[in-house]
Amino acid sequence: MDEIMQINEVVNHFVWGPPGLTLLVGTGIYLTILLGLPQLRYFFPALAEVFSFRKKSEDDSAISAFAAMATAMAATVGTGNVAGVATALHLGGPGALVWMLISAFFGMCTKFAEITLAVHYRQKDENGDWRGGPMYVLEYGLGAWGGVWKYIGKFLAVLFALFALLAFLGMGAAVQSNSVAEVLFMGWNVDHLYSGVMMAGVVGLVIIGGLSSLSCVALLVVPFMVVFYTVGAGILILSYWTQIPVVILNAFHMAFHPEPTVVAGGVAGWCVMEAIQRGIARGVFSNEAGMGSAPMAYATADSVHPVRTGFYGIFEVFLDTFVICTITGLAILVTGTMTYFPELTGAQLVLQSFELALGPAGKYILSIGLMLFAFTTILGWYWYAETAVTYLFGVRSKAVMKLLLIVMIIFGASGLQLTDASGYEFLNNIWNISDTLNGLMAFPNLIGLLLLSLTLRRIVKDYEVQKEQAVDTAAKKPMSKEWRYLLIISACAALLPLAIITIYNGSRDTVHTQDVSLQTVMDRGQLVFGVDDTFPPMSFTDESGEFVGVDIDLAREICARLGVKCVVRPIAWKHKEEELASGRIDCVGSMSVIPQAKEHMSLTEPYVKDNLVFVIRGDSSIVWMHDLKGKVIGMQVGSTTYDAFHASNLCTDAVVVPLPDNMAVLQQVKEKKCDAGLVDSLAACYFIRSNSERYFVLHDSLSEEELALGFRKEDKELSNRVQKILSEMKADGTLGKISQKWFESDIMIVR
């Protein structure tokens, strides 16, 4: 098995690495140019086509185009939209989301092209049902050229069918059923074997009726799950609406910034090439543009013209990547989960984001979404597998395919229980091999697209000539009742997340009338400590990129005594109240003990005193505070420093330069851009001690204040426990040692 996995790793790096991704994106770019930007020219006509809900013709061998799209999206919209996006962000950084969208733009054209060709070359099987996909395009498209092309086309067609069939057995059945079983076990303690049997029974009832029943179920479930997940994640994002512009700008910056960057906590740097590769790879994995899978569903659609059916591919990629994947990415980025959970990836990273923002309801919303994604993926990929096996062995092999699917579902769901721990490794190997086979499917398909690109252009030109006639033919068809069902389903799906949030978070408020803040931290196993990382010596980033300072040492010691992990998170100081209220952090260090803070927070007793002082250069003529009149003074905006200055009689006689932090203020003084800087005395002393140039602090200070640790107003239990630890640290000399380390004397005032 080890040898097989080593070979698989090499092949996987090829198909999902630069060679394969270059072919995928390159094909999309080439077709975009050749066909004249069809993803833009046909975007609004595609929307009109998708939501026209025209009744299909009397052809019993075809299903409606919307039903075909629902069947394709059953397979396309899956766990890749959740775990795949999270993995891309974890490995490629926020910029991966931008490259995912860029690749999807060209992927819209690729999917349009492959669907158009699939409908053009589709054939009827022995039972009179429509069959199509890359294997038929390759055999009949290239075969029409005659000579050696007939054999090349057949070879590539068989190769594609084999890759599709093998990929289904792993990723489309075993892995998906295990995902559902894991969710049911973790959320509701349902036994894996029971989950497998129930799932096999439901899937069996669906597929026994063939494409007709499968597409009907897809019509019901796919719109529901898309709206349900989109609304649930949308609520999460809107709860952090102030962060949306910031994370979008940061994503675009990191997508094109040429230098690697280091994120908080010393996580490995992200660079442009990593963002490009991860973003494109996971984007293609999610929307399946160029893989050749979706055309096998669209080939069964009732079609006025192949190009009109191709419109659905444009919309499908847009919905999958530009809507669902983007929403997942934003949900992760706005909550800041990657910053203080750098070890998490995949679905666990998304789950942490949902729980952080929506509480217990977040877990259930994501769990339901993942179950629906996995279930529909099984249905969609079953049709692809049936199409592949029918092409290879004829229609009689369908019964064997159905039986094999049932077995794989039960094995995937419960097989790990029946084996030892190595079963998990075995399932992971199945996933990795299936991932490789997915990528391999794209190669024969893309070869066919490139070789038949001129034929494709003729089909598109034919549509342009017949456009009005095709539109008239479609317009004469009466509307089906699909839109009514879709409207009802969408309304129910939109209301369900709201109901879950109301029920679970409402019951949490009812049940937890007592303070459970300490228990929450203990259960979670970590305390998230928010700091201003530009406030030496309290908290700052040293030359190696590590967080250091008094508050950092304090936080680590507190967490060690609590028995939880210490997570230090830098925050924008002017947004400290919002960060605390949103739940992104549990505690704020160096919080000024002022009436406003006492009103909105639960504060510990002060642990250090601080003054607001004016720092001047050694060559300055300023001696007394009244000498500051008319001078240029720098100070931190959004802080008590700024408020205290404007409350003094100096504010009308001085030029104020608002700056983001203490160190920026002192740097402006150093560069002679400011005559003086109003900063915390702790930062001033550290700055003066660390510089060889001469600086002075004016004898008079503007105000005196004390610093404490700040918690949410309702988190009294956690605040009291930390206060007790601070007292213990004072008694056993730990606070004194921390103070000696940074101040060269014990200035701690904790009792």
Tell whether 248 and 264 lie within a shared domain. Answer: yes
Do the beta carbons of residue 117 and residue 452 sit within 8 Å? Answer: yes
Q: What angle do CA 90, 94, 98 make, to 5 degrees?
A: 125
**Best-predicted range by mean pLDDT (161-175, 553-567, 619-633):** 553-567
- Mean pLDDT of all residues in 679-691: 88
Within a domain: 748: no
How far is Cα 265 from Cα 428, in angstroms, rounded to an integer?
A: 29
The pLDDT tens digits for 317-345 are 999 999 999 999 999 998 878 865 777 77
Those residues with Cβ within 8 angstroms of residue 106's Cβ, 6 or more apart along the chain or in another chain = 25, 28, 29, 31, 32, 39
Tell whether 432 and 533 lie within a shared domain. Answer: no
How far is Cα 118 from Cα 313, in angstroms, rounded to an integer?
A: 12
Q: In which domain, by residue range, is 223 found?
A: 2-48+64-503
Half-sphere exposure of 296 (CA within 13 A, CB side): 30
Do the beta carbons of residue 357 and residue 583 sit within 8 Å? Answer: yes
- Residue that has been written with the tokens 């490794």 in this structure: 425
pLDDT at 639 over 60: yes
Q: In terms of C-beta density within 10 A (0-12 exposed, 13-18 middle, 19 or more buried), how is residue 86 classed? A: buried
Do the beta carbons of residue 46 and residue 312 sit within 8 Å? Answer: yes
Q: Which residue has the higher pLDDT, 367 or 119?
A: 119
Domain final residue, candidates 453, 471, 503: 503
Percentage with pLDDT > 90 across the chain: 41
- Residue that has been written with the tokens 């198909």 in this structure: 15
Question: How far is C-alpha 470 from the chain's CA centre?
Answer: 40
pLDDT at 263 over 50: no
pLDDT band at 416 (very low <50, low <70, confident <90, very high): low
330: nearest Cα among 237, 227, 235: 237
C-alpha dist (Å) from residue 485 to 115, 274, 320: 26, 43, 21
Within a domain: 576: yes
pLDDT at 231 over 90: yes
User: What is the model's pLDDT at position 82?
Assistant: 86
- State the virtual CA torsion across 273, 274, 279, 285 in degrees, nearest 10: 110
Within a domain: 381: yes
CATH code at 241? 1.20.1740
Neighbours of 627 (CB within 10 A): 16
- Mean pLDDT of all residues in 54-65: 70
Tell whether 338 and 424 lie within a shared domain. Answer: yes
Mean confidence (pLDDT) of the chain:
85
Q: 750 in helix, strand or coil?
A: coil
Within a domain: 55: no
Domain final residue, candidates 482, 503, 524: 503
User: What is the model's pLDDT at position 177?
Assistant: 83
User: What is the model's pLDDT at position 422?
Assistant: 47
Within a domain: 362: yes
Do the beta carbons of residue 312 and residue 298 sit within 8 Å? Answer: yes
Q: Which of 255-264, 396-405, 656-665 has the lowest mean pLDDT?
A: 255-264
Q: Which residue has the higher pLDDT, 594 or 233?
A: 233
Tell whether 77 and 192 lie within a shared domain. Answer: yes
Using left for φ > 0, alpha for ψ between -120 and 50, and beta otherwise, residue 408 falls in alpha
How far is Cα 593 from Cα 707, in angstroms, rounded to an integer?
A: 6
Tell whether 109 and 132 lie within a shared domain. Answer: yes
pLDDT at 260 over 70: no
Structure tokens at 65: 């185009």
Count of domains forming the chain: 3
The pLDDT tens digits for 33-51 are 999 999 999 999 999 888 8
Do the beta carbons of residue 85 and residue 97 sit within 8 Å? Answer: yes
Structure tokens at 330: 């934003």
Tell whether 399 and 540 lie within a shared domain. Answer: no
Within a domain: 57: no
Tell whether 644 and 585 lie within a shared domain. Answer: no
Tell whether 450 and 592 lie within a shared domain. Answer: no
Please count the residues of the chain. 751
C-alpha dist (Å) from residue 516 to 507, 525, 530, 581, 712: 14, 14, 20, 16, 12
pLDDT band at 308 (very low <50, low <70, confident <90, very high): very high
Q: Which residue has the higher pLDDT, 76 or 112?
A: 112
How far is Cα 594 from Cα 605, in angstroms, rounded to an integer?
A: 12
The pLDDT tens digits for 94-147 are 888 999 999 999 999 999 999 999 999 999 888 888 899 999 999 999 999 989
Tell whether 553 and 404 lie within a shared domain. Answer: no
Half-sphere exposure of 414 (CA within 13 A, CB side): 16
User: What is the model's pLDDT at position 505?
Assistant: 64
pLDDT band at 314 (very low <50, low <70, confident <90, very high): very high
- Mean pLDDT of all residues in 459-476: 71
Within a domain: 750: no
Tell whether 458 and 544 lie within a shared domain. Answer: no
- Mean pLDDT of all residues in 544-553: 90
pLDDT at 270 over 60: no
Tell whether 377 and 238 lie within a shared domain. Answer: yes
End-to-end Cα spacing for the chain? 63
- Mean pLDDT of all residues in 59-86: 84
Strands 608-617 and 267-270, how do they pair? unpaired
617: nearest Cα among 630, 632, 629: 632
User: What is the model's pLDDT at position 345?
Assistant: 76
pLDDT band at 659 (very low <50, low <70, confident <90, very high): confident
Percentage with pLDDT > 70 across the chain: 90
The pLDDT tens digits for 483-513 are 777 888 889 989 999 998 888 765 544 444 4
- Residue that has been written with the tokens 């510089």 in this structure: 691
Within a domain: 326: yes
Tell whether 296 and 319 lie within a shared domain. Answer: yes
C-alpha radius of gyration, the chain, whole number? 31
C-alpha dist (Å) from residue 213 to 203, 210, 221, 296, 324: 11, 6, 12, 17, 26
Domain final residue, candidates 458, 484, 503: 503
Q: 627 in helix, strand or coil?
A: helix
CATH code at 528? 3.40.190.10
Structure tokens at 625: 């505070």
